[in-house]
Chains A and B, each alone.
Chain A
Amino acid sequence: MQPYQERYIANTAEIRSLSDLYRHAGADFDTWFQRQREDRARIARLREENLALLQEQLFPVLDELHSAPEETLRELTDFAAQLMDWKTNLDCGVYVAVHDAMLSLCRFRRDRDGVIRELYLLGMGMYYLRRTVEGVDLRWSGTFYFQNELLFSEAAAYLRYFEELPNEETKGYIIRSLANISLCTRESKRRIAISARTLQILQDEHYRALAPSLPWDAFLRRTHQQMSANRSELSRGSLSAEELATVLDSCYEVFKPEESAANPSIRWLWPYYEMEYSCGYVDQKTTLERLESLISRTPYDQYDVSGLYGNVQLPIYYGRLVAGDEKLRADPLRLRFLEGAYRKMLKALLCCPTQRLDDYFVYLLDLVITDFREMEGGLLYSDVMPLLMQRFTGELYIRSRRAGALLRCFSEAIFDRESAFFDDIPFLCAIADPAQKRAALLDYAEGCGLYHDFGQIKMNLARTQQTRSLFENEFQMYRLHTVSGYDDLRKRPSTERYADIALGHHRWYDGSQGYPEEYVRTDSACRQMTDLTALVSFLIDEYEGDLPALAQRLLADGGRQFSPLVTAWLTDESLLAALEEILRCDGRDWYRSVYESAFGAAPEGECFSTS
């Protein structure tokens, strides 16, 4: 590899390490805080250096790839591979950029083997990149799935020339591309059809004979795994008999040997139980008892894959089962168990050692954020999410708290002069007592700050932004943090009032620019607070020590990017002084809460038995 490539990898790994809040375990708060500040400064320097490495060294090479020597191409491939081993996913975006360029080169050279290989590799890169928007509604994320599918589809189209193509490695890419099309669709019947076709080919002796050097059995097992991922469809009644049989076959192939083992892993055991339940072999009661037993017997501090599966994934499944059944929702014992399981899950997540924060852990975190169920009298989404933000997206948490403080200050000034300003917001309008209304508004304003960028919590891209600027394709995904946050917040009673803020704070006041288009200002009852949040978010990003000058810019933009009703307040000198004080403060208190979350006592959480 070239020195710049090694340097970029080292810098990126160091940034990843520096951004870990557990880094200075054992230090008292003051020391920890000081080191955090040093780390932030170091991250900023490394980020600058990374940008220079890309702009001055990598991009010129990619621009002139057609004339690059073979050695350079090999180095690039190695560099990309280092950036994205499938576990740590150090920098998926650069991996994609490199293979995108390599694909163009292969097309230019009419190197068919190269094109097929690069389509597969780029497809895999896009798959990992696209997982950033995994939980986002297809209305918004569908295009990324489809772009990913097109790459695999183009490579898979060469299957009809399997015999004619001489290179066995190319044949392997073709088959895996075909199988991976199933990763790009959320439509179960289509997924099953694609996996079934792949299994058919993988078991066909004719194909095997044409490429004997390929690891056919490994391909077969992996495809069975992909097919078995459709097991949740078994109970939905939407599959034909043939499809059911195909999925069941794969489930047996994958899970039966594990179930029969002397000490079966929970990770394989539960899918087997789930399959039995989905097919009606065992009843709901038995299934719930099995699930409770698996959750209960996993210690909260077991941080291997099985442990995380038992402590995080299974409580989420349990919550789904309970929330989806009217009788179970009214069963106090089941609710009590769920509450205990959730608490234990939270404890396991918050106490997870740094070295376990890999791609699987990120997936689990996504699962919790997307699928946590609020039950009456139980843990609320608004109890859990701030803790996860503190622990896993500390920088985002601190920025959001800063936004909350600014919003509180701003709202207070507005309320004291124009108490009806926020009366479009129904819950505030309904409060008659001015003091109560004021208190409720200030709480709400803080919450709006805390949750306005909530969608970013699920996005690895927030982590990428610490390393370098985002590429265009990444930024398209990043924009979805607005709709993603909106979707997650609006589904839970404890956070639904913040949903519009998350959706609309990047949209311009006049609707001419910004995103997403789905936010229509005049349709939102919370538009005044959203306007205010947009302005505060801008202040945080643009403040460079002179708020009055910044305020002049904002005033000039009133009616376009920002609401003139809000910018008009920026002529108030006392308000500006109060806002500037918050902008200047080093956020010590907010860092303290992050510190306590990282090193404080583990939260309570043990499971209850229902039997």
Chain B
Amino acid sequence: MTEEQIRIEALERELLQLRQQLEEAKASNIAKETFLSNMSHDIRTPMNAIIGMTALAKKHIDEKARVADALNKIETAGAHLLELINGVLDMSRINSGRMSLVSERFALSDLLHETMAIVRPQLEQKGHRYTLSTENIAAESFYGDSLRIRQILVNILTNAVKYTPDGGQIDLRVSESMEGELCRLCFVCRDNGVGMSEDFLGRIFEPFERVNSTTNSKIEGTGLGMSIVKKLVEAMHGTIDIVSAPGEGTEVTLVFPLPVEAETVQTEALRGKRLLILEADEALRAAYRQYLDGQPLDYQLVSSAAEAFAALADADIAGQEVHALLIGRARQDSGSLFDIARYLSRSFPALRLLLVSDDNWAEIEYRAERCGVRGFLPLPFFRKSLLKGLNSLFADGEETAGAAAADLEGMRILLVEDNFINREIAREILSSAHAAVDEAEDGLQALDRFLSAEPGTYDVILMDIQMPVMDGYTAAGRIRASGRSDSKSVAIYAMTANTFAEDIARARSAGMDGHLAKPIDINILLQTLRQLRR
């Protein structure tokens, strides 16, 4: 081969490479254009609603009913837009390889309880029947990114809710199997909804794909959910399988291989205790039997208030003491559980009441406490979570979930936020909970305020991250390093919409105690502050 030929061949190879790169660039460009086109459409739709409804509200400013209606629609469109932007940010992080997963200990019962607390209102709104069943649950605590797993589960369940006509059936089954050192945590979500065609199943993980049919044309969604789910599952080395057919519903199987935390629960505090368990649900009664048989305590299951009284009468006649009552689901003729709790806590003050419920504790806490409930066990429970819940009930002097402070009176908070409206919202929330609030508009001001105040003045600093002059990380770091007597003890919470794992880690390394997501959720903010107060 001549030198000339060798050069020509090299040039041809280079040319081929360049052609391939050009093709890839073109494909990438097309993908970007499609993405931008889809995005602009999906962003424009709610934006149109916001602009149009705002104009309509202004036009009819004196007609209160129309204004209220327009505001409701703006609120819905705004929430949809936020969901879309969050989805796009997630996608962007995943695609650029910047997404990092955390590996933290989490409890399966908490994961399921929190997931169902999010999905249940949607299920109930559409009148769906639903079941949550478990089998072979041996490990209860795992290491993994529970927030991401919850995000995946919520997405799958929300799809099941959306694409199942009203009054449908949705079942979530959870099981475990060991594979070497790892536990394969398996979730199977089955619905009897509209189902999907084979053709669509092939494209389901593509961004902006949605099932289209005449029956669900009004279903809202960004079309990014399944794409994100797929990438998250893969990032966790898990699998996702979907079986579906039009009109026959859908079954989604998720498997996550996770390290298990080996933990033991002490049962000494339960020795000799006598429990009464008000529970009418057969599956839960079976769970109690499964988990409590063999434990060093006595228990009796009853299904109504009348049966509970009979058991208490038995104990009275026998001269025995009943130490605790677990209040779950009673027979329908048994009235409100809160009424039962109120009556029993008043009539039998020595009886410790533990509420066992799938309700969101934050929503029922106030009412439950007023009825004398001293602890809360979220559903579903497993052996260890049940025993831990019982332990907390008998750990005298230790506060239980039900012992939250009524408000934030006496708490002094330094609110650091450059945005005037955000500051105003936070101030309103905190003041309404009777907290004393001082304000700073950037990190430097916050540092000055902290250093010029008497040590111990502030209980909590709520710190924005992105601010002019000095950002929140720097300010937190300088406060911690200031050497004042309270520089280490004052709680610093980041207030940021930035909830990526690495940013949360950065906040921690800057000395912050935690973070609160924006937009500010009143309940979470107050709950966090109440916990701090305790």
- Chain A residues within 8 Å of B, Cβ to Cβ: 107, 112, 142-143, 145-147, 149-150, 153-154, 156-158, 160-161, 164, 185, 187, 190, 420, 424, 522, 525, 527
Contact = CB atoms under 8 A, between A and B. Distances in A.
B34 interface: no
A147 B339 contact: yes
Contacts of A164: 317
A142 B333 CA distance: 11
A157 B312 contact: yes
B317 A150 contact: no
Given A150-B343, A424-B64, A187 B333 contact: yes
B336 A185 contact: no
A171 to B, nearest CB: 14
Contacts of B333: 185, 187, 190
Contacts of B339: 143, 146-147, 150
B335 A142 contact: yes
A284 B304 CA distance: 41
A415 to B, nearest CB: 15
A495 to B, nearest CB: 23
B313 interface: yes
A424 B336 CA distance: 38
B35 interface: no
B340 interface: yes
A107 B65 CA distance: 56
Given A147-B339, A190-B333, A420 B65 contact: no
A525 B65 contact: yes
Interface residues of B, number: 22
B4 interface: no
A112 B315 CA distance: 12
Nearest to A100: B346
Nearest to A525: B65
Given A154-B312, A161-B313, A185-B333, 6 more contacts: A143-B336, A149-B335, A150-B335, A154-B347, A158-B313, A424-B63
11 contacts: A149-B335, A150-B339, A153-B306, A154-B309, A157-B306, A157-B309, A158-B313, A420-B62, A424-B65, A522-B68, A527-B64
B310 interface: yes
A107 B316 contact: no
Contacts of A185: 333
Contact of B336 (A146, A420, A522): A146
Interface in B60-84: 62-65, 68
A250 to B, nearest CB: 21
Contacts of B347: 107, 154
Contacts of B313: 154, 157-158, 160-161
Interface string B301-340: 0000110011011101100000000000000010110011
Interface string B28-70: 0000000000000000000000000000000000111100100
Contacts of B305: 149-150, 153
Contacts of B65: 424, 522, 525
Contacts of B340: 150
Nearest to A418: B62
Interface string B337-370: 0011011000100000000000000000000000
Nearest to A107: B347
A160 B310 contact: yes
Given A185-B333, A522-B64, A147 B317 contact: no
B309 A153 contact: yes
Question: Mostly helix, strand, loop or mixed at chain B's interface?
Answer: helix
Contact of B335 (A146, A157, A158, A160): A146
B310 A147 contact: no
Nearest to B314: A160
Question: Of residues B305, B313, B343, which shows the largest number of chain A Cβ atoms within 10 Å of its Cβ?
Answer: B313
Nearest to A522: B68
A147 B64 contact: no
Contacts of A149: 305, 335
B32 to A, nearest CB: 44
Contacts of B317: 161, 164
Contacts of A157: 306, 309-310, 312-313
A409 to B, nearest CB: 24
A112 B310 contact: no
Contacts of B335: 142-143, 145-146, 149-150
| Leading 8 A-B pairs by shortest Cβ distance | A146-B335, A157-B309, A157-B313, A157-B310, A150-B343, A154-B309, A522-B68, A146-B339
Contacts of A420: 62
Question: Of residues A143, A149, A150, A527, which shows the largest number of chain B Cβ atoms within 10 Å of its Cβ?
Answer: A150
B307 to A, nearest CB: 9
A40 to B, nearest CB: 38
A133 B310 CA distance: 29
Question: Of residues A145, A161, A522, which shows the largest number of chain B Cβ atoms within 10 Å of its Cβ?
Answer: A522
A200 to B, nearest CB: 16
B69 to A, nearest CB: 9
A284 B316 CA distance: 55
Contacts of B314: 160
Contact of B316 (A112, A150, A527): A112
Contacts of B310: 157, 160
A11 to B, nearest CB: 31
A143 B310 CA distance: 21
A13 to B, nearest CB: 32
A143 B341 CA distance: 12
A36 B217 CA distance: 70
A164 B319 CA distance: 14
A187 B332 CA distance: 11
A149 B340 CA distance: 10
A499 to B, nearest CB: 18
A146 B335 CA distance: 6
A147 B343 contact: yes
Nearest to B344: A150
A5 B314 CA distance: 39
B373 to A, nearest CB: 16
A102 to B, nearest CB: 13
Contacts of B336: 142-143, 146
A185 B64 CA distance: 43
A525 B316 CA distance: 57
Nearest to B342: A147
Question: Of residues B68, B309, B340, which shows the largest number of chain A Cβ atoms within 10 Å of its Cβ?
Answer: B309
Nearest to B338: A143
A546 B347 CA distance: 49
Question: Of residues A107, A112, A154, which shows the largest number of chain B Cβ atoms within 10 Å of its Cβ?
Answer: A154
A145 B335 CA distance: 9
A527 B68 CA distance: 13
Contacts of A156: 306, 309
A153 B316 CA distance: 15
Nearest to A184: B335
B387 to A, nearest CB: 30
A525 B333 CA distance: 37
Nearest to B312: A157
A142 B338 CA distance: 12
A186 to B, nearest CB: 11
Nearest to A527: B64
Contacts of A150: 305, 309, 335, 339-340, 343
A241 B158 CA distance: 47
Contacts of B62: 420
Nearest to A143: B339
Contacts of B68: 522
B61 to A, nearest CB: 13
B400 to A, nearest CB: 24
Contacts of B342: 147
A149 B63 CA distance: 48
Contacts of B63: 424
Contacts of A147: 339, 342-343
A147 B333 CA distance: 13
Contacts of A160: 310, 313-314
B332 to A, nearest CB: 9
Nearest to A110: B316
A530 to B, nearest CB: 13
